[in-house]
A = this chain, B = another copy of it.
C-alpha cells in the first residue's frame, strides 16, 4: 500500500490566502518526507481536486486520504467534495479514496486555536 495525502482547500482570489495551506504541506513534508502530498482547491486557485488526485495516482499511490482544510463542514465539505470524490473514484477504480473529517473538527486543532486565541504569539 502506498498512501498519499490530498489536502482540499477552498481557494481565494488573493494569492496570499494560500500561505497557511502551503505551510501545512511543508510541515507534512518535514514530518513525513516519504509521504506524497498534494494540495487542491475548490475554486479560484489551481490545481482542482481531480488533477491533484491524478498526480498522486501517477506517483503510485493506491490509497489516498482526502483531508478537507476547512474549519467548518458546510456545503463545500458535505456536498461539493463528495461529488468531486465520486469523479476521482470513477476515474481511478483501483485506488481507495478515504474522506476524512474537516480539519477544524479535529480536537487537537480546536485546542490549538483556543490556545492561540488566548495566548498571541510574541
Contact = CB atoms under 8 A, between A and B. Distances in A.
A104 to B, nearest CB: 4
A2 interface: no
A39 to B, nearest CB: 11
A28 B111 CA distance: 9
Given A67-B117, A115-B31, A117-B28, A110 B23 contact: yes
B113 A24 contact: yes
Contacts of A21: 71-72
Contacts of A118: 5, 28, 31-32, 35
Question: How large, as a class, is the contact surface on chain A?
Answer: 35 or more
A30 to B, nearest CB: 8
Given A24-B110, A100-B117, A109-B112, 16 more contacts: A10-B72, A13-B74, A16-B72, A16-B74, A17-B73, A20-B105, A20-B110, A21-B72, A24-B113, A24-B117, A27-B110, A69-B113, A103-B113, A108-B115, A108-B116, A109-B116
7 closest Cβ contacts across the A-B interface? A27-B114, A12-B74, A17-B72, A112-B112, A17-B74, A20-B104, A106-B116
